[in-house]
Amino acid sequence: MKRDSRLSGVLHVLLHMAQQPGPFTSETLAKAMDTNPVVIRRIMAGLRELGYVRSEKGHGGGWRLACDLSKVTLRDVYAALGSPSLLAMGNRTESPGCLVEQAVNAALDQAFHDAEALLLSRLGEVTLAMLGEDLRKRLGSRKIHDISAHRA
């Protein structure tokens, strides 16, 4: 797999859930995302632990939102995934004895750190509610999107 798409995926799920009351089974969500129910449960596990969503077993069970969408940022969601590494590049050796490599690492670390900080900052500026608002604009006059129609 080329790149980590868990953040993209879990946001997709959350935004879908925000459009309808729920609950949603992992299977329903998986169909909408064209993936496997276990994958859904996996990426949702961290959000459940942080209380952003709740899950229930048995008949009528499934996933429900359990947070104020205007208080949860994309950065929070990212953190709920376990804060996977943001950059595809890194240093060859983290604590090299070679002074040459230390000089290289210092220069790269600075650039890497700045980029990571900016990305986290940007993610922290966007709430799930804002995403929902943007979606509403995109939907325009259309009827609220039904997740069950997603399969088309």
Q: List beta partners, residue 53.
A: 65
Q: Is 44 in the site for DNA (CB under 7 A)?
A: yes
Contact between 49 and its own copies per CB under 8 A:
no
Q: Which two tokens stand for residue 119?
A: 């990305």
Instruction: Please answer whether residues 27 and 48 qualify as being in contact, where contact means their C-beta atoms are separated by less than 8 angstroms.
Output: no
Contacts 24+ apart (CB under 8 A), 88-97: 88/3
Interface residue with DNA among 11, 18, 37, 76 (CB under 7 A) is: 37
Considering the rule CB under 8 A, would residue 8 count as an interface residue with its own copies?
Answer: yes
CA distance 66 to 8: 20
Smallest separation, CB 137 to DNA (Å): 27
> Which of the listed partners (its own copies, DNA, none) does 19 bind, with a CB threshold of 5 to 8 Å by partner kind?
its own copies
List contacts with DNA (CB under 7 A): 1-2, 4-6, 9, 24-27, 35-39, 41-45, 48, 55-63, 84, 92
